[in-house]
Amino acid sequence: MTDTTTAAPGRADGLSSSEVARRVADGQTNAFRQDASRSVGSILRANALTLFNGIIAACFLVLLLLGRWQDALFGLSALANTIIGSAQEFRAKAALDRLAVLHAPHARVIRDGADAQIDVAEVVMDDLLVLRAGDQVPADAKVVSAGHLQLDESLLTGESDPVDKSPGDEVLSGSVVVGGEGLATVDRVGAASFANTLSAQAKKFSLVASELRSSIDRVLRWVTWVVGPIALLVFNAQVIALGGWDDTISSGSWRQAAVNTIAAVVAMIPLGLVLMTSIAFAVGAVKLARQQVLVQELAAVEGLARVDLVCLDKTGTLTEGDIEFDAEHPLADQPDGWREVLAWYGAEPDANATARCLAVPYTRTVASEPTGRIPFSSARKWSAVSFGDAAPGTWVLGGPEMVFADDRLAERTAQLAASGRRTLVLAHSPLPLPDEERLPDGLRPVALLTFRERIRSDAAETLTYFAGQGVAVRVISGDNPQTVAAIARQVGLDAPTGFDARELPSDPAELARVVEDNVVFGRVTPDQKKAIVVALKSAGHTVAMTGDGVNDALAIKEADIGIAMESGAAATKAVARIVLLDGRFSHLPSVVAEGRQVIANIERVSMLFLTKTAYATALAVLFGAFVLQFPFLPRQLSVIDGLTIGLPSFFLALMPNARRYVPGFLARSLSFAVPAGAVIALTLFLYSWSAGSAGVGQPELRTGSTLILTIVGLWVLTVLSRPIDGWKVLIIGSMMIGLVVVYTVPLVRDFLEFTEVSVVTALLVLVFSALCVGLIEIVRFVHRRFVHRHTAAHSPVTARADADDERVRPPAELLGAVVICYIAGVLEILAGIVLLFVRYGDGLSSLERTVITVVGAATIMLGLLVISLGSGLTRARRDARVLLTGLFGISLLLGAIVIITDGSVTVFRLVDLAVSLAVIVVLWTGRTARFFRGTRHGPRRS
């Protein structure tokens, strides 16, 4: 028996040109472009017209009006923040605007009695669509005629089995024709179509929930609340310190008071923190793009590192979405020619995806054409064919439970299905094919045939990684729950059974309990997928959702981080935050690692910026309350901040860092920044008060304040960069060289209004700098213990990992080498300080002062380097071991040369040689060498 094409009421010649024109004029076209929820103007306003930028712009304009453009360098940072922030959102807007459910760029219609190929947007109401295998339906329609027409609606419903369509049935936009052909009359177009309605719910502007971004915004709000009152306090104090309101207004010195106030205000704002965060996100996105991972919103790089639960769609994530032949399981009494019949089923032009798999193992088909057939139907789940004398009798291929209602194969098929395999049975009857569409009598099973979905090769490895990181997994699919559970078990998940989503409760609290207690869910509708994600979020999870079908779009949009496969529906890719361009699930660990790097490095960088905000705020309050002139010019702060915070932060934000994510980034940052900032502010205040009491003039006082801030800023940078490796040495060393240039090059010194300092000022600078450095070390010591307790409270997994790293202690001889490094570093620093004192001696030329300054600064830098490298030894930093070997080796070589050339041997020189040799031996022999070679003790988390 053959399937006939049945015509439904309607015009077989389609619409005429005049009818199409009339519908176009009435707006009844398939053109659909949902407005982006944020326009270009709104994005620019949101990034440019902020209170943060308003304060910077006001200060910038005041300085320009006062003719002090040299002090307005900070305006460049605000401009960069605006440009980068806008660029991020333009990228997100472009991704949303590209949202389109349809892959096919053209549609086939009948117009004026002839086939025509037109753009999808040009389809109009009542158009007569021509549907053929491989086509994607461009608009919702009613079937007019059908010849074995089958549609794959998995992108819309999640159900992977093809659906038969008959005249009068509805076909939905976004579904794909997988077999047969037909005609359908369009009844819904544009925004009214099913796929576009579903997409419209997902296409709403939203940004990834970013702890970094929200924490930084919170700090900016705090600063903007206090900046106004503090500015008034500082301005009043500056006016009074310069002689009072009457004198400053009449003499014009109010201008200097305004400049001092702006210096205090601008210093309070963490100008570069937003910029550094944006750059870290952007660089992370570029690195991931090289690995075929498209980050459609930059903060998603951070987001996936915070995820503690991943929801996976089976098809396209755990499996590749393709069906492949698994095995044949012959039963008793196989008639001749049964394998040839299977080959015919595989080669049949109208074969569905499952039957086509038979063409691979079975290649020799029946030599005769069928004498009758009943095509496969998704409703009856079987097909039948007869070949006359070439293969006598009737052959039936279909689902075992549909072909044999007496359950004679139930036990065997249940065993096969439990392993996640799809099962068909080939049955044979000696009787001819019936005239009606029914099974023939006398059927006997010939063979069971099993098929399986191809498991993604990277799925098990990736899930193992997530399990090791404490990330839970939920599998959510539209397929049979037991089949999905079996596949989940194959990739290593603990899923003894699957939960049928038709039994999911509607109550949110009860739903949350169910999704917490089960791992695999089948027969899930698109709305249920979204509800599951919402329930998991309400339970306190940070949820990632992966998928590839339109049916996943709502859930992906609702999740904290949505991840789509490039092979998936366009709607799903557009609403996802991350798209795996080559569809490889194994890229997710790289995304997690990149996110961790961003979070850990920005936390380190934020402590630099927030320390500046803390000491600037405290300075403003102190100098305002005690009516003292502010000890800096804006340009001085801009340059020093740039060399001790801005430039090094740029490099530190991009360095490798594998520390696990722990909530509470802002609390940890402030726990260092606030006390360290208070110490720095108090130090500068006491210095200014002491220098003023000693009769030091304001230009020299500013120079001394800047020197203290330089020394302390470099120390804070060094403290927060520990352990120091090769790149950090280069970064810190470069900043030191830059600062030496700032203080020694006449052109730069004149621009910054630095002056030669007296011995009194030099002594005050050294004393207060040493005091501040010591207090900062104490702050850092307390801060590290606070972070350890905070980590243990908020992330037991991370705390256990850190504890594991600390279990093996460095050998005692290595600790001795560390002590030697500390002593040597302190001696180097003292020697550098002595050299800096020498520059104030009488009779020295400008060149001699410059040389002494450079040598003194370099000696201090060397001391800092030795101390930092020494601290790296206890963390098994191989770079630290190599560099220290080089330094002590140079010291050993130079000492030997001096003894040989000079001929005199002193106790000091012998001790120096012995210490250098001992350190080198300790670093490369015995237990120390094994400590560094151990796989557990390579470069550790910083």
Catalytic residue IDs:
313
- CB–CB of 333/466 below 8 Å? no
- CB–CB of 423/413 below 8 Å? yes
Distance CA 91, CA 95 (A): 6
**Could you tell me the sign of the dihedral formed by the alpha carbons of 748, 751, 756, 761, in that order?**
negative
What is the per-residue DSSP string for 180-243?
A: EEEEEEEEE-GGGSHHHHHHHHH--------HHHHHHHHHHHHHHHHHHHHHHHHHHHHHHHTT
Distance CA 263, CA 631 (A): 9
Distance CA 928, CA 873 (A): 10
Distance CA 262, CA 73 (A): 12
Helix axis angle, 907-924 to 926-933, nearest 10°: 40
Return all residues near 806 (Cβ < 8 A) that are at least 6 apart.
none
Distance CA 834, CA 819 (A): 23
- CB–CB of 600/586 below 8 Å? no
Pairing of strands 561-565, 309-312: unpaired
Distance CA 276, CA 212 (A): 11
3-state helix, strand, coil in the chain (%, to 5): 60, 15, 30
Phi (first) and psi of residue 557, to 5 degrees:
-70, -35
Find the helix or strand (DSSP H, E) in which 411 lies.
helix 410-418
- And the tokens for 703? 């120079």
Closest to 213 measured CA to CA, from 298, 277, 269: 277
DSSP letter, residue 903: -
- CB–CB of 504/525 below 8 Å? no
Residue 921 CB-half CA count within 13 A: 8
Return all residues near 722 (Cβ < 8 A) that are at least 6 apart.
868, 871, 872, 942
Here the contacts of 49-56 (C-beta below 8 Å, separation 24 or greater) are: 51/220, 51/224, 52/78, 52/81, 52/220, 52/224, 52/269, 52/274, 53/78, 53/81, 53/82, 55/224, 55/227, 55/265, 55/269, 56/266, 56/269, 56/271
- And the tokens for 254? 């109010």
What is the per-residue DSSP string for 37-73?
A: SS-HHHHHHHHHS-HHHHHHHHHHHHHHHTT-GGG-T
Q: Which residue has the tokens 């544009």?
A: 190
Pairing of strands 422-429, 444-455: antiparallel
Distance CA 131, CA 338 (A): 34
- And the tokens for 896? 């030997």
Closest to 603 measured CA to CA, from 657, 516, 666: 666
Phi (first) and psi of residue 310, to 5 degrees:
-115, 125
Q: Which residue has the tokens 């009359």?
A: 185
